[in-house]
Amino acid sequence: MILLLGGTTEGRRLAELLDEAHVPYVLSLAGRTSNPIVRGTVRTGGFGGADGLAAYLIGSAIEVVVDATHPFARTMSTNAAAACHQAGIPLVRLDRPGWSTHPLAHTWTWVDDHAAAAAAVLLLGASRVLLTVGRLHTLDYSPALDQLAVLARVAEPPSGDLPPTWRLLQARGPFTIQGEGHLLRSHRIDTLVTKDSGGEATAAKLAAAAEAGVRVVMVRRAGRGNGEAVDSVEAALAALAKFHPHVTQKSQGTL
Ligand code: NAP
C-alpha cells in the first residue's frame, strides 16, 4: 500500500494515475480545503506529528510514502522524513520545480521568510501591494503593512480580520497573464509579494508583473529533507515502480 501525502495539484494527479492503474494507495489530506476534488481512498487530518505518522505507517502496512505536499508545507515534510526513517519505509519526495530559474528571477527581491518579505516591502517604498502568500501566512504581514493598500488574494479566507486598508480577494488558479495584468492595473499595484511555490497555475502573475512594471518580492523555499527527490508526477511514478511492483505492471498503459 502506498501512502500519498497530498494537498497539491501534483498529489491529485498522481492519485488519479494510481487510481486508473488500480494500484492501491491512500491519499492523505490535511483537511484545510473545503470540498477538495479528489477520488480514490482518502483519509483526512493530521497524524499527530512524526511519531503518530510512524505508528500509522506500521499499523496500516504502508510500503512506501510519497510526499506530494506543497513545497512550503515544511512541517509535514519534516515529519514524513522522520517517520519513514523511524518505520524503515522508503520515501519519495515530489517537489515541483520552483521559480529560481525563471528568466525574470534576477529582477526580483528574494527573501528567506515572510518577516523579511514584509521588511523588504517597506524598504522598497511600496504603497499598493498584491499579497499572494497563502491563507496561513497572509496575516503574518500585519501589523507591518497595516498602513498600505494590500490586496490579499487567497484560495480560502484567512482565519482572522484584515486591517481596514486591506481587501480580500478569494480566487483559485489557474490564472492567465491577461487576467493577472488586468488585476494589477485595475488595483494600481506597485509590488507583488509571493512565495516560490512553482507550478503553472500561478506563474502568470510573474509575467504580468514584469509587463506592468510591478516589482516582485519572492520568499525562498527551504530544503525539504530526506527521501528520493523527484520533480514531476511521471518521475514519482517511475520512482514508485522501484518500491511497488504493481506500479510498473499496471501503469504501463497510463504512462
Ligand atoms: P504543514 O505546516 O507542513 O503541516 C502542518 C500539519 O498539518 C502537519 O504537521 C500535519 O499534522 C498536518 N498535515 C499537513 N499536510 C498533511 C497531509 N497531506 N495529510 C495529513 N496531515 C497533514 O502544512 P501546511 O503548510 O499547513 O499545509 C497544509 C496542507 O495544505 C498540506 O497538505 C499542503 O500540501 C497543502 N498546501 C499548503 C500550501 C502552503 O503554502 N503551505 C499551499 C497549498 C497547499 P500532524 O503533525 O498532526 O500530522
| pLDDT tens-digit readout, 175-230 | 999 999 999 999 999 999 999 999 888 999 999 999 999 999 999 998 777 889 99
For the chain, give percent helix, strand, coil, nearest 5: 35, 20, 45
49-95 pLDDT, tens per residue? Answer: 999 999 999 999 999 999 999 999 999 999 999 999 999 999 999 99
Ligand 1 neighbour 225 (Cβ under 6 A): no
**Residue in 34, 66, 69 to alter for ligand 1 test, most ligand atoms within 8 A of Cβ:** 69
DSSP H helices, 61-142, are: 74-87, 114-123, 135-138
**Residues near 29 by Cβ (< 8 Å), separated by ≥ 6?**
6, 7, 36, 38, 42, 43, 44
- Distance (Å) from CA 240 to ligand 1 centroid: 22
203 and 218 Cβ atoms separated by less than 8 Å: no
- Distance (Å) from CA 35 to ligand 1 centroid: 16
pTM of the model: 0.90
Rounded distance, CA 189 to CA 178, Å? 15
Ligand 1 neighbour 132 (Cβ under 6 A): no
